[in-house]
Chains A and B, each alone.
Chain A
Amino acid sequence: MLNKLRRVGPPLLMLAPSLILVGVFVYGLIAANFTTSLTDNHTAAQATGQKPAVFVWFTNYLDLLASEDFQHSLMNLVLYTVVFLAGTMVMGFLWAWMLEKPVKGEGIFRSVYLFPMAVSFVASGVVWRWLLNSNQDEQASGLNRLFQIVGLDALQNNWWNNVTFGIVAIAIPAIWQLSGYVMALFLAGFRGIPEELREAARIDGASEWKMYRYVLFPQLSPVALSALIIIGHMSLKAFDLIMSISKPANYQTKVPAVDMYVFKSSFDYANAAAVGSILLIIVAIVIVPYLVRTNREEKR
Chain B
Amino acid sequence: MRVNRRMTATVATAAVLGLTLAACGGGGDGGEGSGESGSADQVEVFTWWAAGSEKAGLDALVGVFNEQHPDTEFVNGAVAGGAGSAAKDLLQTRLQAQDPPDTFQAHAGAELQDYIDAAQIEDVSDLYDEFGLTDVFPADLVDRLSTEDGAIYSIPSNIHRANVVWANPTVLEDNGIDPEAEYADLDAWMADLETLDKAGVTALSVGTTWTQVHLLETVLLADLGAEAYSGLWDGTTDWEGPEVTAALEDFETLIGYTNEDRDGLDWPEATQMVIDGNAAFNVMGDWAVAAFEEQDKVLGTDFTAAPVPGTDGTFDFLADSFTLPVGAPHPDGAKAWLETVGSLEGQVAFNKAKGSIPARTDADAAEFSEYQQTAIESFANDTIVSSLAHGAAAPVATLNAISDATSKFTTGASDLAGYQSELAAATQS
Chain A interface residues (CB < 8 Å from chain B): 10, 14, 17-18, 21, 43-45, 47-48, 50-51, 69, 72, 129, 132-136, 138-139, 158, 161, 163, 166, 245-247, 249-252, 262, 265-268
B396 touching A134, Cβ below 8 Å: no
A133 to B263, CA, bound (A): 10
A31 to B99, CA, bound (A): 24
Q: Tell me, yes or no, whether B397 is within 8 Å of chain A by CB.
A: yes
- In chain B, positions 253-269 with a C-beta closer than 8 Å to chain A are 259-261, 263-264
Closest 4 pairs (CB-CB, A-B)? A45-B117, A249-B209, A44-B114, A266-B397
Given contacts A48-B96, A249-B208, A267-B396, list 11 more A-B pairs with CB under 8 A: A10-B9, A44-B118, A45-B117, A48-B95, A50-B117, A134-B263, A135-B261, A136-B260, A161-B263, A267-B114, A267-B118
A sample of 10 inter-chain contacts (CB < 8 A) reads: A17-B19, A21-B23, A48-B95, A134-B261, A161-B411, A249-B208, A249-B209, A250-B208, A250-B407, A265-B89
Closest CB of chain A to B4's CB: distance in Å?
A: 14
Closest CB of chain A to B314's CB: distance in Å?
A: 26
Nearest to B88 among chain A residues (CB) is A265
B117 touching A247, Cβ below 8 Å: no
With A14-B12, A43-B114, A249-B404 already in contact, the answer to whether A21 and B19 are too (CB < 8 A) is yes
A5 to B407, CA, bound (A): 63
Residues of chain A with a CB closer than 8 A to B420's CB: none
Nearest to A130 among chain B residues (CB) is B264
A36 to B380, CA, bound (A): 48
Closest CB of chain B to A146's CB: distance in Å?
A: 16
Closest CB of chain B to A72's CB: distance in Å?
A: 7
Most buried by A among B96, B119, B202, B261: B261
A252 touching B261, Cβ below 8 Å: no
Candidates A48, A50, A139, A251; contact of B413 at CB < 8 Å: A251
A132 to B263, CA, bound (A): 12
Most buried by B among A17, A250, A262: A250
B278 touching A139, Cβ below 8 Å: yes
Closest CB of chain B to A76's CB: distance in Å?
A: 12
A166 to B200, CA, bound (A): 26
Q: Tell me, yes or no, whether B16 is within 8 Å of chain A by CB.
A: yes
A133 to B264, CA, bound (A): 7
Closest CB of chain A to B180's CB: distance in Å?
A: 28
A139 to B119, CA, bound (A): 50
B260 touching A251, Cβ below 8 Å: no
Candidates B13, B20, B408; contact of A69 at CB < 8 Å: B408
Closest CB of chain A to B392's CB: distance in Å?
A: 17
Candidates A133, A246, A265; contact of B396 at CB < 8 Å: A265
With A17-B19, A45-B118, A48-B118 already in contact, the answer to whether A266 and B260 are too (CB < 8 A) is no
A106 to B70, CA, bound (A): 68
Nearest to A246 among chain B residues (CB) is B263
- In chain B, positions 377-406 with a C-beta closer than 8 Å to chain A are 396-397, 400-401, 403-404
Closest CB of chain B to A138's CB: distance in Å?
A: 7
Residues of chain B with a CB closer than 8 A to A246's CB: 263-264
Residues of chain A with a CB closer than 8 A to B117's CB: 43-45, 50-51
Residues of chain B with a CB closer than 8 A to A265's CB: 85, 88-89, 92, 396, 400
B278 touching A251, Cβ below 8 Å: no
Q: Tell me, yes or no, whether B52 is within 8 Å of chain A by CB.
A: no
What mask results when residues 188 to 223 of chain B are scored 1 for a CB within 8 Å of chain A, else 0? 000000000000101000001110000000000000
Candidates B16, B210, B259, B396; contact of A139 at CB < 8 Å: B259
Candidates B114, B118, B401, B411; contact of A250 at CB < 8 Å: B411
With A69-B408, A268-B397 already in contact, the answer to whether A250 and B19 are too (CB < 8 A) is no
Residues of chain A with a CB closer than 8 A to B200's CB: 138
Residues of chain B with a CB closer than 8 A to A158's CB: 260
B407 touching A251, Cβ below 8 Å: yes
A45 to B113, CA, bound (A): 10
Closest CB of chain B to A259's CB: distance in Å?
A: 9
Residues of chain A with a CB closer than 8 A to B403's CB: 249
Nearest to A141 among chain B residues (CB) is B261
Residues of chain A with a CB closer than 8 A to B272's CB: none
Residues of chain B with a CB closer than 8 A to A135's CB: 259-261
B209 touching A134, Cβ below 8 Å: no
Residues of chain A with a CB closer than 8 A to B263's CB: 134, 161, 246-247, 250, 252
Closest CB of chain A to B218's CB: distance in Å?
A: 18
Nearest to B209 among chain A residues (CB) is A249
A267 to B92, CA, bound (A): 9
Residues of chain B with a CB closer than 8 A to A129's CB: 264
A14 to B412, CA, bound (A): 59
B118 touching A161, Cβ below 8 Å: no
Nearest to A249 among chain B residues (CB) is B209
Closest CB of chain A to B193's CB: distance in Å?
A: 17
Closest CB of chain A to B121's CB: distance in Å?
A: 11
A245 to B263, CA, bound (A): 10
- In chain B, positions 1-34 with a C-beta closer than 8 Å to chain A are 9, 12-13, 15-16, 19-20, 23
Closest CB of chain B to A165's CB: distance in Å?
A: 12
Residues of chain A with a CB closer than 8 A to B413's CB: 72, 163, 251-252
A134 to B207, CA, bound (A): 13
Q: Tell me, yes or no, whether B120 is within 8 Å of chain A by CB.
A: yes
Closest CB of chain B to A244's CB: distance in Å?
A: 11
Residues of chain B with a CB closer than 8 A to A267's CB: 92, 114, 118, 396-397
Closest CB of chain B to A18's CB: distance in Å?
A: 7
A93 to B411, CA, bound (A): 36
